[in-house]
Amino acid sequence: MSDSNPSAEKIFLSNRLYNEISEGDKHTTPLAEIQDYIVYNPQTRSDRFGNRYYFSPDKYFFDREKEKKAMLMVTQDGQEVLRRFPRFLRIINDLLIEVNKPYGLGKLPNSSVIKIDNGYYKITRIKEAEGSQSSGFVIEIYENDKEVKQKFFVKVRRRIKESTTGEDISQPYFYEALQIQSAYKELGESARQKRIRFPKIFFATSEVLVEEYVPNDDPNWFKDRERFVDLLEFLKELINFLRGKQNVSLFNNLLPDLFFPPSNLRLNNIFCDNNRNLIIVDPFFQTEKEGSLNEELKDGSLSDQIGRIIARLK
C-alpha cells in the first residue's frame, strides 16, 4: 500500500463488518499459525509472495477457532491498483457500507452509480455469482464519463455452517488468497504450459476479497476434448499439491472446489476467455473434518479417479 495514502487502510478496517475490541482484550494476529510457512517479516509487514499486511488496532473478527485482529492483505498487484486508483479502498468501503449487515446480503440494489473525482464507478450485484459462502459484485471504474479503466470482482463473505455438524466451514478470504498464491508458485510452470491460471488477487480481509474480473467468453469450452484433458491433468496436480500440504495448517481440510460429493466433477468455476485460456475462478473450499472427499484426497484415490478419466478421454 502506498504510504502516501496512510488513512486508506484505517478507513477500510474501521468498517462495521468487524467487532470492537473491548478494553483489556487481547487477540492474536491471523498470521500467527502460518507465519513460518509464508515467511512473514514483522518489520516490513510482508511475506515471501510480496504481500503487505495492515492490522486494525481496535477491531477483530471471528474465525473458526478464535477471535483475531482484523487485517488487510494487499498483494503486489493490489499495490499497483492503489497507485493507479488511490481512492480504491474507499470505494470498497462504500460497497460494504451499502451491504450494511455484518454477515448478510444487505439491501444493495442490482446496480448503483456513484460519482468520484473526474469520473465515476458503478457497482453491480451479480446474482449468478451468489454462492453459499459469498455474495458477488462487479466494480467498474470509469474516467471522463465514458471509458472503462478497469473492472474488479468483489466477494463479500457469508458465515455458513455445515449442515450435519453445525460447524462454521467458511474461511477468511486472505487464507484463500494465500492458498492460491502457494499453488501457483509451485504449479505455475505447468499451468502456463496448459494455459490455465487463477484470477489476479488484489486485496483480501477475513470478510472481503477483491480480484480480477474475468469474463466467461466461451461457456461451452469443455466440448473441446483437448482443453478438457488439460484441465483434468492440472486438477490432478492440484490434488497432489494439497496432499503434500496436509501438515500445513493453511491447507487443513481443503479440497478443489470442482466436485460435488461424493466425487462428481463440476465445471461452473472454470471460465474460458477468447484466447482459449482457462481460469479457475474459485479453486478451493474448506470442508468438515471428516468427509468422504477428504479421505479420498488423503489416500490418493481422488487423484486416481481423475487419472482414469484422463485415460478414457485420450
Annotate 215-247 with b (16+ C-beta within 10 A) or e (fewer). eeebeebeeeeebbbbbbbbbbbbbbbbeebee
Alpha-carbon gap, residue 75 to 197, rounded angstroms: 17
Q: In the structure, what pLDDT confidence band is assigned to residue 4 with cuts at 50, 70 and 90? A: very low
Record the cell numbers describing residue 273, joined without a space.
476467455
Record the cell numbers describing residue 213, joined without a space.
474480473
Mean pLDDT of 127-135: 61
Q: Is pLDDT of 131 > 70?
A: no
pTM equals: 0.83
* CA angle centred on 312, ends 307 and 314, rounded to 5°: 95
Contact by Cβ (8 Å): 6, 82: no
Regarding predicted confidence, which is higher, 104 or 30? 30
Sign of CA dihedral 126, 254, 212, 95: positive
Q: In the structure, what pLDDT confidence band is assigned to residue 189 with cuts at 50, 70 and 90? A: very high
Q: What digits encode the pLDDT tens for the residues 32-89?
A: 889 999 999 999 999 999 999 988 877 777 665 566 778 899 999 999 998 888 888 8
Name the residue with cell 509472495: 49
Q: What digits encode the pLDDT tens for the residues 201-222?
A: 999 988 889 999 998 999 899 8
Q: Find how far residue 147's CA is from the centre of its chain.
A: 27
Alpha-carbon gap, residue 156 to 154, rounded angstroms: 7
Q: Which pLDDT score, from 0 to 100, does residue 119 have? A: 54
Q: What digits encode the pLDDT tens for the residues 224-246?
A: 999 999 999 999 999 999 999 98
Q: What digits encode the pLDDT tens for the residues 244-267?
A: 998 898 998 888 887 655 456 778
Q: Which pLDDT score, from 0 to 100, does residue 15 have? A: 57
Q: Is pLDDT of 190 > 80?
A: yes
Where along the chain do its domains lie?
8-157, 215-313
